[in-house]
Amino acid sequence: MTHIALNRRTLLAAGLALPALGLASRALARTPAQTPAGPFTFTARSGQTAPAERGFFEVPEDRNDPRSRRIRLGYVRFPTAAPNPGPPIVYLAGGPGGSGADAATGPRFPIFTALTAVADVIAFDQRGTGLSAHIPARPDPTGPFPDLTRAGLTGYYRDDIQKAWIDWTRAGVAMAGYTTEQNADDIEDLRRHLGVDRINLWGISYGTHLALSVLKRHPDSIGRVALASLEGQDQTVKRPAHIDAFLDRVDALLGQDPIARAAIPDLPALMRRVHARLDADPAPITLASAAGPVELKLGAMGVQLITAGMVANPSSLSRLPGLYLALDAGQTEAVSGFFGSVSRVFGSSGMNEAMDMASGISPARLALVEAEARTAVMGDAHNYPMPHLLGAIPGLDLGEDFRRPITIDTPALLLAGSLDGRTPLEEQAEVITQFRRTSQIHVENAGHNVFESHPDITPLLVRFFAGETLPDTRLTLPPPTFAVT
């Protein structure tokens, strides 16, 4: 069984906030090496189907090393029936580590099919994911396991990624090729493979971080971009002060519910109290494993990692106050269902860690993050495993030119949800200043997964990719109902 590391990316993929990733759907059940090219019937998890085609092309695993192997990258194409189609729309999944093809099996399936009214839609699997996965899975971890504290998790994870890096390199994997710059060059190779002058980009979260690199490296190849939950070039690590501001907004929403306010007079204060208690005296918890129950100690970091996933979307955010009330009452068993088995907590998967370490963080931003983390509710846990893995693999960092902002003239549709705790509005506002030709959609009370949050968004995406210039639009959803009992 393949294990999934517990970090800021895979927490979302584990079901706290996003649909499970990977290739579990009936349409994509084979391994990348076994999956054939050509037409097939794509089946979403809802049972809906659509005609589709699998395609593949080859790229160097590391363009900076002529000795590296070539790897096959895959995608699913949803063909258009438009008589005069526009440029293909390429979907860039979040993560890093998300599979575009698998994302199409979930709640975004109707958007993929709706967009075929104007162009082919390409669900692209970035290098290291889904149909493009070429990093061997490591065995399930067997321990000994550390306490779920900052020191315990950081030391364990740094050691594990270094050992994994050696194992993958010995297996012939050019791990230094798993960077956002090379990922961006894959998009240019995809354009050439498709035989078109331009493509359009549709991305979310890390997919927007990747899109910015594409726009920097291959601006003439991109016609239009629709991007949600923006992550800038130097925003792999979010500022703790911006996470505090988000939690203050959540607390204000709690204040609008008399029952919730009575139970929790001050959410950030409750969270700080729980974290301080667990830091001072980590509590015993039991997790399942193939070899039987595993006894661990739960520190603040373990709870903060759960929180980092829960704040992404209103559906999981609504459960956050209840979790902290339980922990404040000493009911530490409340976290066990979030962690699952130890195989989901410990270990390294490769692509996501490499991408994050390579994107890195500028010295100035790191100093700011470290200063803010000393007093922030979440400390520096929100972005685990960064900056905790910083420098674990020497020479991987892409440097300041990669992280430098640019001026973008490409027409852009930019979407944000007010309750996105993964890429808070303050972070997104910094990215928006790079764009010169924008239409913005703001969805009040939507979260990180803003594309499927409101029924009006899909027709707006269709109109945008059909070439329309859209006005700025504000949409509203009901606020979440917080569970406090």
- Taking only the tens place, the pLDDT of each residue in 280-323 is 999 999 988 878 889 999 999 999 999 999 999 999 999 999 99
Look at residue 33 in the predicted model and tell me its pLDDT.
63
Residue range 70-98, pLDDT digits in tens = 999 999 999 999 999 999 999 999 999 99
- Given phi > 0 = left and psi -120 to 50 = alpha, else beta, which region is 211? alpha
Alpha helices in 35-147 (DSSP H): 100-103, 109-115
Residue type at 420? D
Q: Is residue 245 part of a domain?
A: yes
Helix H or strand E encompassing 74: strand 70-78
Phi, psi for residue 40 in degrees, rounded to 5: -160, 170
Domain membership of residue 247 (yes or no) is yes
The pLDDT score that the predictor gives to residue 410 is: 98
Determine the structural domain holding residue 155 and report its residue range. 150-169+239-349+363-383
pLDDT digits (tens, 9 = 90+) for 199-236: 999 999 999 999 999 999 999 999 999 999 999 999 99
Cβ-in-10-Å burial (0-12, 13-18, 19+) of 447 comes to buried
- Within a domain: residue 58? no
- CB 355, CB 93: distance < 8 Å: no
Question: Per-residue pLDDT for 14 more than 50?
Answer: no
Cα separation of 219 and 191, whole Å? 12
- Provide the domain count of the chain: 1
Tell me the C-alpha distance between 334 and 234, whole Å. Answer: 35
Q: Is the peptide bond before 385 cis (omega within 30 degrees of 0)?
A: yes
Contact of 352 with 273, CB cutoff 8 Å: no
Least confident of 24-38, 73-87, 138-152, 363-377: 24-38
**Residue 50's closest CA among 77, 15, 14?**
77
CA distance 384 to 324: 20
- Only one residue has tokens 């470290």, namely 370
- Segment 236-264 shows an average pLDDT of 97
Q: Count Cα neighbours of 1 within 13 Å in the Cβ-side half-sphere.
A: 12
Q: Per the domain annotation, does 277 fall within a domain?
A: yes
In percent, how much of the chain has pLDDT > 90?
86
Q: Please say whether the beta carbons of 104 and 44 come within 8 A.
A: yes
pTM for the predicted model, two decimal places: 0.94
pLDDT score at 26:
29
pLDDT score for 46: 97
3-state secondary structure of 193: helix
Cα separation of 135 and 355, whole Å?
Answer: 13
Dmax (CA) of the chain: 66
E strand segments, 169-221: 199-204
Report yes or no on 227 lying in a domain.
no
Average pLDDT, the chain: 92
Mean pLDDT to the nearest integer, 316-339: 94
What's residue 465's pLDDT?
98
> How large is the C-alpha radius of gyration of the chain?
22
**Taking 60 as the threshold, does the pLDDT of residue 18 lie above it?**
no
For residues 21 and 102, give the distance between their C-alpha atoms in angstroms, rounded to a whole number: 6
Amino acid at 261: R
Query: Quick one: average pLDDT of 254-281?
Result: 97
The answer as to whether 268 is a domain residue is yes
Determine how many CB atoms are found less than 10 A away from the CB of residue 135.
21
Q: What Cα–Cα distance (Å) separates residue 359 from each residue in 87, 147, 275, 304?
A: 29, 28, 29, 23
Please name which of 414, 448, 419 lies closest in space to residue 432, comparing C-alpha atoms.
414
Whether the Cβ atoms of residue 450 and residue 417 lie closer than 8 Å to each other: yes
Q: Which three-class secondary structure state does DSSP give residue 180?
A: helix
Say how many C-beta atoms besides its own lie within 10 A of residue 29's C-beta: 10
What 35-43 contacts at long range (C-beta under 8 Å, 24+ apart), as own/partner pairs, is 35/74, 35/131, 42/76, 42/78, 42/104, 42/105, 43/105
- pLDDT, one tens digit per residue, over 426-483 is 999 999 999 999 999 999 999 999 999 999 999 999 999 999 999 999 999 999 999 9
Q: Would 270 be classed as within a structural domain?
A: yes
Q: Please name every residue paired with 76 in a beta bridge, in sequence order, or none if there are none.
A: 54, 123
- The token duo for 292 is 């039987």
What is the per-residue pLDDT for 31? 65
Q: pLDDT-derived band of residue 11, with 50, 70 and 90 as boundaries?
A: very low
Does the pLDDT at position 22 exceed 70?
no
For helices 363-373 and 240-254, give the axis angle rounded to 10 degrees: 40
Q: Which pLDDT band holds residue 258 (cuts at 50, 70, 90)?
A: very high
d(CA 397, CA 391): 8
Does 195 reside within a domain? Answer: no
